[in-house]
Chains A and B, each alone.
Chain A
Amino acid sequence: MRRSAFVVIAAAIGATQGSGPPVRFGVGRPATDAEIAAWNISVRPDGKGLPAGSGTARQGAVVYASRCAVCHGATGREGPADRLVDPEPRVGFRFGRDPTLVRTIGNYWPYATTLYDYINRAMPLNAPGSLAPDEIYSLTAYLLWRNELIADTTRVDARSLPRVVMPARDHFVMDDRRGGAEVR
Chain B
Amino acid sequence: MDSVRISRRRLVSAAAGAVGVAVLRRTGFTQVEVPPDPTKVPGHPLSELGQRSPFEQPRRVVGGGYQGASLTPLQDLYGVITPADLHYERHHAGVPSIDPHRYKLLIHGMVDRPTVFDLEALRRFPAVSRLHFLECSGNGGPAYRNLKPDVSPQLIDGLTSTSEWTGVPLARLFREVGVRPGAKWFLAEGEDAAVMARSIPMSKAWDDALIAYGQNGEPLRPEQGYPARLLVPGWEGSTNVKWIRRIEVADQPFMTREETSKYTDPLPNGTARQFSFTMDAKSIITFPAFPETLPDHGWWEIRGLAWSGRGRVTRVEVSTDAGKSWRPAELEGPVLPKCHTRFRFLWRWDGAETVLMSRATDETGYVQPTLAALRKVRGLGTAYHYNNIRAWSVRRDGRVLFGLEE
Within 8 A of B (CB), among A45-85: 45-46
**Docked-complex contact A172 and B272, CB < 8 angstroms:** yes
Report chain B residues within 8 Å CB of A25.
Answer: 124-125, 176
Stretch at the interface among B52-60, B113-121, B158-166, B214-222: B113-121
Task: Report whether over half of chain A's contact residues are helix, strand or loop; otherwise say mixed.
Answer: loop
* Given A25-B124, A42-B189, A122-B194; A117-B274 close (CB under 8 Å): no
Q: At the interface, yes or no: A1 with Cβ under 8 Å from chain B?
A: no
Which single residue of chain B is at the shortest CB-CB distance from A118?
A: B257
Report chain A residues within 8 Å CB of B126.
Answer: 21
A-facing mask of B89-133, CB < 8 A → 1, else 0?
A: 000110000000000001110000111110001001110000000
**Docked-complex contact A96 and B266, CB < 8 angstroms:** yes
**Docked-complex contact A6 and B66, CB < 8 angstroms:** no
Which single residue of chain A is at the shortest CB-CB distance from B189?
A: A42
**Docked-complex contact A39 and B245, CB < 8 angstroms:** yes
A-facing mask of B269-280, CB < 8 A → 1, else 0?
A: 111111111101
Q: How far is the CB of A6 from chain B (nearest CB, A)?
A: 6
Taking each of B177, B248, B365, B367, which has the highest tally of chain A beta carbons within 10 Å of its own beta carbon? B248
Which single residue of chain A is at the shortest CB-CB distance from B376?
A: A183
Docked pose: A98 CA to B270 CA in angstroms = 11
Docked pose: A163 CA to B381 CA in angstroms = 29
Q: How large is the interface on A (under 10, 10 to 19, 20 to 34, 35 or more residues)?
A: 35 or more
Taking each of B176, B266, B366, which has the highest tally of chain A beta carbons within 10 Å of its own beta carbon? B266
**Docked-complex contact A113 and B272, CB < 8 angstroms:** no
**Docked-complex contact A175 and B277, CB < 8 angstroms:** yes
Q: Name the one of A92, A101, A113 contacting B270, with C-beta atoms under 8 angstroms.
A: A92
Report chain B residues within 8 Å CB of A98.
Answer: 381
**Docked-complex contact B114 and A122, CB < 8 angstroms:** no
**Docked-complex contact B176 and A172, CB < 8 angstroms:** no
Q: How many residues of B contact A (CB 8 A)?
A: 67
Q: Name the one of A94, A109, A121, A182 contacting B197, with C-beta atoms under 8 angstroms.
A: A121
Stretch at the interface among A29-37, A131-139, A141-149: A29-37
**Docked-complex contact B106 and A174, CB < 8 angstroms:** no
Report chain A residues within 8 Å CB of B67.
Answer: 125
**Docked-complex contact A31 and B108, CB < 8 angstroms:** yes
Q: At the interface, yes or no: B255 with Cβ under 8 Å from chain A?
A: yes
Report chain A residues within 8 Å CB of B224.
Answer: none
Q: Name the one of B121, B145, B271, B275 contacting A27, with C-beta atoms under 8 angstroms.
A: B121
Within 8 A of B (CB), among A117-165: 117-118, 121-122, 125, 128-129
* Given A31-B106, A117-B257; A128-B176 close (CB under 8 Å): no
**Docked-complex contact B274 and A172, CB < 8 angstroms:** yes
Q: Name the one of B93, B276, B380 contacting A175, with C-beta atoms under 8 angstroms.
A: B276
In addition to A27-B176, A176-B273, 5 A-B residue pairs with Cβ atoms within 8 Å of each other are A27-B125, A44-B252, A95-B272, A99-B380, A122-B92
